[in-house]
């Protein structure tokens, strides 16, 4: 009867309202945000690492490894949720036809960026207490100041529109022995056109990054802004951050020159340059997100380290307005490394004589999937 139905609706509505008053609000992470494009937070466990290659899929697409220990989903340490990823690279981790050592992976088609696109990104990165950020340069052992980098962690690489990707990627971010650094590469020379120190490295600490990028080959159009642990580390910095006529795609993980860790390389006095265990390098990544607004990233996780992260953040700046509040004294943005760190003048100076490969010619650095609809084909260097 109509009267009975109306009574049921009223009672049901009252019960729902009462229950809503008693229960906590739905967490932001459980809500659907149309401005959040992609999440690579590893919360699908080991299945997060491969197979998610179509546009609109969360988690990761493909990896380049030769042994299972190189990339592993772990439960400790984590920055958010239940899982993070551990990257390990050591001597001999040479994938396919490449001459460098690598433990890297890439995301789905949603992460490919075209000229003029504007995006917000977030991730957490941890370099452990025993992180070695630079190594003796294998071909200049008589020069103690000659060092080779230990590997970037975040790369936006260039897509050559069906051709072979030659030279160095436009964007590298990593850590040396003392600092978190950013390299913006000159396409003609494959060296760092700009090498920026973003923040001091805190070992065994989850650094929380937010990056705002407008991708462009025009230096008056393209720009980057980067916050680390809630502090404005890179104020809006106009620069070319992609190459003309190409797209950028995201790569994460560790790679370095293939000579590093060679147990057979000796100093003139007979001692081992890198030891005898392959000089393993390890770093962790968690919580990667891609969005069209900054508020979407903060809605998923406010500034600050979650209770289950294992490492407490002491640098975050809280906010409830959807925008990170710059620290009153933001970290300076010097033009080069400070005097306590060997200055990097380009990729050649930090271990790569020509582009990102260790051979004489500038071969392709990575042959990662080109996506066309739902089909994937693997490109190989020529």
User: If the chain, 382 residues long, is cut into consecutive pieces of 10 residues, what is the mean pLDDT of each piece?
Assistant: 37 41 36 87 97 94 96 97 97 91 93 95 98 94 91 92 80 97 94 96 98 98 97 98 94 94 94 95 97 94 56 32 32 32 36 36 30 30 28
Ramachandran angles phi, psi of 106, nearest 5°: -130, 165
CATH architecture of 38-371: Sandwich (2.60)
What pLDDT shows up at residue 166?
A: 78
Residue from 79, 29, 38 nearest 291 by CA = 38
Tell me how crowded residue 294 is: count the other CB atoms within 10 A of its CB.
18
Between the two ends of the chain, the Cα-to-Cα distance in Å is 77
pTM, entire model: 0.76
pLDDT score for 304:
63
CB-based burial, 133-159: b 16+ in 10 Å, e otherwise: bbbbbbeeeeeeebbbbbbbbbbbbbb
Alpha-carbon span 215 to 133, nearest angstrom? 28
Q: Judge whether 353 and 362 are in contact, CB under 8 Å.
A: no
Domain ranges of the chain: 38-371
- pLDDT of the residue at 55: 87
Burial class of residue 312 (count of CB atoms within 10 Å of its CB; 0-12, 13-18, 19+): exposed
């Amino acid at each position: 009867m109509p009267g009975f139905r109306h009574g049921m609706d009223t009672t049901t509505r009252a019960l729902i309202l009462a229950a809503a008053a008693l229960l906590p609000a739905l967490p932001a992470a459980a809500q659907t945000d149309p401005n959040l494009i992609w999440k690579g937070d590893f919360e699908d466990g080991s299945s997060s690492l491969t197979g998610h290659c179509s546009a609109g899929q969360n988690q990761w697409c493909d990896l380049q490894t030769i042994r299972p220990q190189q990339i592993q989903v772990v439960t400790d340490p984590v920055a958010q949720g239940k899982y993070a990823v551990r990257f390990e690279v050591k001597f001999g981790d040479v994938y396919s036809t490449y001459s460098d050592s690598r433990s890297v992976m890439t995301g789905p088609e949603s992460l490919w960026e075209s000229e003029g696109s504007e995006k917000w990104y977030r991730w957490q990165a941890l370099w452990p207490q025993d992180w070695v950020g630079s190594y003796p340069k294998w071909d200049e052992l008589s020069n103690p100041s000659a060092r080779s980098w230990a590997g970037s962690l975040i790369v936006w690489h260039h897509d050559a529109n069906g051709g072979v990707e030659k030279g160095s990627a436009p964007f590298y971010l990593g850590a040396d022995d003392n600092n978190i650094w950013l390299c913006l590469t000159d396409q003609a020379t494959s060296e760092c056109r700009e090498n920026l120190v973003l923040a001091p490295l805190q070992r065994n600490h989850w650094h929380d990054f937010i990056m705002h990028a407008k991708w462009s080959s025009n230096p008056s159009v393209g720009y980057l802004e980067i916050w680390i642990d809630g502090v404005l580390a890179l104020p809006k910095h106009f620069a070319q951050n992609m190459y003309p006529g190409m797209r950028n795609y995201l790569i994460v993980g560790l790679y370095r020159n293939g000579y590093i860790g060679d147990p057979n390389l000796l100093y003139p006095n007979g001692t081992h340059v890198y030891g005898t265990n392959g000089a393993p390098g390890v770093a962790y990544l968690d919580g990667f997100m891609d969005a069209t607004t900054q508020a979407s990233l903060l809605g998923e996780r406010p500034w600050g380290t979650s209770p289950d992260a294992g490492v407490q953040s002491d640098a975050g700046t809280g906010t409830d307005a959807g925008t990170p509040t710059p620290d009153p004294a933001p970290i300076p943005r010097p033009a080069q490394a400070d005097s306590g760190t060997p200055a990097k003048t380009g990729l050649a100076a930090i271990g790569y004589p020509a582009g990102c490969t260790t051979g004489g010619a500038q071969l392709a650095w990575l042959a990662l999937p080109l996506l066309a609809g739902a089909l994937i084909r693997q490109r190989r260097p020529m």
